[in-house]
Amino acid sequence: QKEVEQNSGPLSVPEGAIASLNCTYSDRVSQSFFWYRQYSGKSPELIMSIYSNGDKEDGRFTAQLNKASQYVSLLIRDSQPSDSATYLCAVNYQAGTALIFGKGTTLSVSS
């Protein structure tokens, strides 16, 4: 059974701080990795994707991938109260299959 693991949190950070969200996955042959943000009662929205080892930056968001350690992370710089949400990590293990999601980490940013 392929799995995606996330710390459920809540992760609490003050406004302006860096929030670090982590995700591990069970299969070394995984191809692509995604981070989704989900506000309470709403559907997930894609915020980052990463396919190669290293860092990928997009505005205040940085995704980091380490395939040898089977680890992917999301850093949110200058965290804002509007970033308070559940962040879902998703992994595509093989072309032709569907994404497998972790249970999500709840982030709370206090002003």
* Contacts to another protein by CB under 8 A: 4, 6, 8, 31-32, 34, 36, 42-46, 49, 51, 88, 90, 92, 94-96, 98-104
Nearer to another protein, 41 or 69 (CB): 41
Nearer to another protein, 45 or 57 (CB): 45
Separation of alpha carbons 13 and 1, rounded Å: 33
Q: 16: left (phi > 0), else alpha (psi -120 to 50), else beta?
A: left
Minimum Å distance from CB 32 to another protein?
5
Separation of alpha carbons 88 and 23, rounded Å: 9
How far are the Cα atoms of 52, 56, 73 from residue 106, in angstroms, in the given order? Answer: 26, 22, 14
Separation of alpha carbons 63 and 72, rounded Å: 7
Minimum Å distance from CB 18 to another protein?
24
Minimum Å distance from CB 67 to another protein?
14
Minimum Å distance from CB 28 to another protein?
15
Nearer to another protein, 42 or 77 (CB): 42
Closest by CA to 62, choosing from 83, 77, 51, is 77
Nearer to another protein, 19 or 87 (CB): 87
